[in-house]
Amino acid sequence: MSTLDNVARLAAGLAEDDGVIGRVKAHSVETRLIRMLVSLRNAKGLTQRKMASLMGVNASKVCRMEAGRDSQLSWGDVLLYTRALGVNLSLLVDDPGLPAAARIKHHVLTAHALLEQLRTLTQNMGEGEEIAAKIKEFYGEVLLNFMIRFCDSYVKLPQAGPINISSGQDDTTASPVALCTFEPETATH
């Protein structure tokens, strides 16, 4: 059971109204962006008053923004807020009508572009720098996390077996590679 489910049940119990569960869950969905922004502000140790100062607005504006719903935010206010936090804002426009394969390829290409930014940063930092070592360690973490999730999905496919990896050229010598092992009798997915 998720934390949201627990909170919703607790609120319903306190209110003695099971309808509260649905309202708590709906509120969570309607305030996802705001909660993320507040979390970023808190992580940077900024008060609403300091945030307002950085944004060049009244503290009451920040208070209203953070107390509202995502649909009440203006794009300009979100940009102002994120700039004041010193964070980058990325907008993902995802067409659920596209095939999953096309959407996944888009995300892989986006992840590649970000990894290239890190690689460039590492090269600019020079040899032997601590940051370069940390970035290389991060590359390993990215690969491990991707492989864990990839394998988790792959082994759930009907008749999952070895994966054929091809260079994309006319590679007739490609042989199956056991990237993800699957033992049906021990799988608990």
- Do 16 and 65 lie in one domain? The reply is yes
- Do 8 and 80 lie in one domain? The reply is yes
Whole-prediction pTM = 0.53
146/81: higher pLDDT: 81
Instruction: Give the domain-ending residue among 62, 85, 108.
Output: 85
Helix (H, G, I), strand (E, B) or coil at 165: coil
Domain region containing 27: 3-85
Residues 125 and 131 sit within 8 Å (Cβ to Cβ):
yes
- Do 52 and 118 lie in one domain? The reply is no
Residue 188 within a domain? no
Counted domains in the chain: 2
Per-residue pLDDT of 50-82, as tens digits, reads: 999 999 999 999 999 999 999 999 999 999 999
Residues 17 and 52 sit within 8 Å (Cβ to Cβ):
no
Residues 21 and 12 sit within 8 Å (Cβ to Cβ):
yes
Which positions ≥6 away from 48 have C-beta within 8 Å? 41, 59, 62, 63, 66
